[in-house]
Amino acid sequence: MAESVERLQQRVQELERELAQERNRRVPGSGEGGGGRIRIEKMSSEVVDSNPYSRLMALKRMGIVSDYEKIRTFAVAIVGVGGVGSVTAEMLTRCGIGKLLLFDYDKVELANMNRLFFQPHQAGLSKVQAAEHTLRNINPDVLFEVHNYNITTVENFQHFMDRISNGGLEEGKPVDLVLSCVDNFEARMTINTCAPPLVVAANIDEKTLKREGVCAASLPTTMGVVAGILVQNVLKFLLNFGTVSFYLGYNAMQDFFPTMSMKPNPQCDDRNCRKQQEEYKKKVAALPKQEVMQEEEEIIHEDNDWARRFCH
C-alpha cells in the first residue's frame, strides 16, 4: 500500500512538471483573451518602442550592471502571493527573471482589493492561479510553476522541499533564491529549512494583529514600498551590483529606513541553519581574494593669491 501511494505521488509530480512545461510552451495572444506578445529568444539593447527590455538593458550602457541578460538564468521561489508577494512577482516578471515558482494556498477575495496586483474579476480563484494568468500575459518569456497548497502541513512539506531543491531553471537543480512573503511564523520556520539563500520581506506575525470581526489594516503604498525594496536587493544580489542590505527596515509613519548587519547564531537550535552557516563559510573562503588598492597620497600645492589650495 505504501509503495502504491509513493508511486502515485511520483506520477503526480511528473504530471505537474509536464503540465508546467506545456503551459510555458503556449504563446499568449493565440488563445484566451489574446493581446499578448510572442516570446523573445534573446534580450536586445536596441532602443525602439517595441523592445520591452530596452530600458532594462540600458543598465549595461550606464555601467551599473555588467551582464543584465544573466537575469534569465535564475529561478526564484516566492512563498506567499499576497500583498507583498504578488507585487514582488510582478516586478521580477517585468525584469525578465528566468523562472518563478509561486506557493500559496489562499484565494483572491474582494477584501484584497486594497492591495495592488489582483483584480475584482479574479475573486474566488486561487492566488497562484490568478497570479500566473496575469504574469504570463505581462511577460511570456518567464517560466512559471505554481503550487496551491499550505507548505506547513506534513503532506505538502516534502513536495515543497523537493521543488526548492529540484525546481530550478534546469530541472533537478535548486532554485537560486527563496523569498519569504508570508505573514506567519509557522511558514517562516518551514521556509528556514530551505537550502538556497532566503530573503524575508516582513517581520510581523499577522495573527497577533487579528481579532474576531476585525481585519489587519494595510495600505497598498506600504506593501508597494516593501516589495520594491525586496526586489531591488534581489536584483543586486543576483546581478552583483551595488550593496545588498542584510537588514533594511521601513517605518512608514516616520519614513525611517533603519539598516544593520545581523550575524548568524553559531549555536542556533536549528540544525539546517547551522549547516547552511558552515556551507556559507566554505563558499566565502573559496572566493578569490580582492587586492586592496593603495590610494596615492594627495599632493597639496602652496596657497595661491586667493588663499585656496589646489589639489593635483
Average pLDDT of span 79-91:
94
pLDDT given at position 23: 58
- C-beta separation of 132 from 32 below 8 A: no
What is the C-alpha to C-alpha distance for residues 91 and 7, in angstroms, rounded to an integer? 38
93: its cell numbers? 516578471
The amino acid at 224: G
What is the C-alpha to C-alpha distance for residues 263 and 73, in angstroms, rounded to an integer? 29
Which CATH entry fits the domain spanning 53-200+213-260: 3.30.470.20, 2.60.120.560, 1.10.630.10, 3.40.50.720? 3.40.50.720
Number of helices followed by number of strands (H, E) in the chain: 8, 7
∠ at Cα 197 (137, 189), nearest 5°? 95
User: Residue 77 belongs to what H/E stretch?
Assistant: strand 75-79
Average pLDDT of span 20-34:
49
Which residue numbers are catalytic? Answer: 215
pLDDT given at position 8: 74
Average pLDDT of span 59-79:
93
Lowest-confidence segment of 100-104, 206-210, 248-252 by average pLDDT: 206-210
> pLDDT digits over 127-183, tens only?
999 999 999 999 999 999 999 999 999 889 999 999 999 999 999 999 999 999 988
Read off the pLDDT band of 279 (50, 70, 90). Answer: confident
Look at residue 94 and tell me whether its pLDDT is greater than 90: yes
Domain ranges in the chain are: 53-200+213-260
260: its cell numbers? 544593520
pLDDT given at position 80: 94
Average pLDDT of span 47-66:
89
Alpha-helical (H) ranges within the chain are: 2-25, 54-61, 85-95, 127-138, 154-166, 185-191, 220-239, 271-286
| Percent of the chain with pLDDT strictly greater than 70 | 76
| Percent of the chain with pLDDT strictly greater than 90 | 41
